[in-house]
Copies of this chain bind each other. A is one copy, B any other.
Amino acid sequence: MATMQQVADRAGVSIATVSFVVNGTKYVTPATTDRVKAAMRELKFRGNVVARALASRRTRIIALLFPTTGNRFSPTTSEFFMSAAQRASERGYHLVLWPVDPAGDDLDDLVSGGLVDGVILMEVRMDDPRVAVLTDLEVPFTLIGRTRDSAGLPFVDIDFETTIVDSVDHLTALGHRRFGLVLEDIEGTPMAGYAPHLRAESTFRELVAERGLAGTVVYAGAGSEGGRGAAEALLTADPELSAVLVMKDDSAGGLLVGLFDAGRRVPEDVSVLSIASSAANADQHYPRLSTMLAPGRELGTRAADALIEQLDGTSADLPHFLLPCTLRTAESTAAAPAR
């Protein structure tokens, strides 16, 4: 490996200038920077980030923890993932993908290694044991999602409450009065207590009661079969239902087929609105699904920013960002049928 002196000689600058370019500690003109970088490339010089990390006790690595159980990777999660990695990269950090078990048993070992400066936690449950572990380890962290009581915790999350209200508002404006909500059946799985489902469900139930609307909630099994079962369950409970909110991408296709099999056209007889989902999912289906788009990119960017600002000490406030989904109408929603 080349030394800094060799790089300086090759570029015709002082060793201090090379150091400024490598560490970004002082302004160097673009022309000189280019010359130094070219010399570094030619000599295969590797700015020793590791030595710098040791000196500063910081590694500029942040870990994104994801649960090892199940394949819970939706297009929204991917969007979130990629934008967090990209944002970290833009700000001079590196995002490590770290598998951990949902109980958080291995978290301690991972974080105690001193490799990471901070942690982003995703797929948060209402009472998540990993939050206590991270607090105990005194490592800076940010949640994507919220526990039941998250006032004292740094988080960014989808505003599920507002999203449900906006969804029902949109559909009542189209004349709908009788609603269904399809959620994933997670009782008895490692994801039981998954916060988004609980928030969506309780908001929906309160809202329909408050407004004197009809509202039926069903918990669907996996895939298209789950979706067809949900359609049947909804229409059995309320044959007059005219609008369905579905928060379960893998069953949306089956739901459409189930409604069609039961003699309901979408959207002429029943409107279907996909919740906290993506354009990529919406456009797979026919009719293309009207969707409350999850702010995946923005959540990822904000989560990275929130953590990095804690690490860099540029913000003393704990971030509390709640971003609602935004409506993208497509072909699956329309005015309620006349009775």
Instruction: Give chain A's interface residues, CB within 8 Å of chain B.
Output: 37, 40-41, 44-51, 53-54, 59, 61, 64, 66, 68, 71, 73, 75, 77-79, 81-82, 85-86, 89, 94-99, 108-109, 112-115, 137-138, 222-225, 228, 249-254, 257, 280, 283-286, 288
Contact = CB atoms under 8 A, between A and B. Distances in A.
Contact of A97 (B47, B96, B113): B96
B82 A286 contact: no
Contacts of A71: 75, 78-79, 82, 280
A286 B89 contact: no
Contacts of A78: 71, 73, 77-78
A283 B95 CA distance: 32
A257 B286 contact: yes
Copies in the complex: 2
Given A44-B137, A286-B254, A288-B224, A96 B94 contact: yes
Contacts of A53: 50
A78 B95 CA distance: 16
A225 B289 CA distance: 12
Contacts of A222: 283
29 contacts: A37-B109, A41-B112, A44-B112, A45-B112, A47-B113, A48-B54, A49-B115, A50-B115, A51-B54, A61-B96, A68-B86, A71-B75, A71-B78, A71-B79, A71-B280, A73-B78, A77-B78, A86-B99, A89-B98, A94-B98, A96-B96, A96-B97, A223-B288, A224-B283, A224-B286, A225-B288, A250-B283, A253-B284, A257-B286
Given A89-B98, A94-B96, A224-B285, 15 more contacts: A37-B109, A45-B112, A46-B113, A46-B114, A49-B115, A61-B61, A68-B86, A71-B280, A73-B78, A96-B96, A223-B280, A223-B284, A225-B288, A228-B286, A253-B253
A285 B253 contact: yes
Contact of A47 (B50, B51, B114, B137): B114
Given A284-B250, A288-B224, A66 B47 contact: no
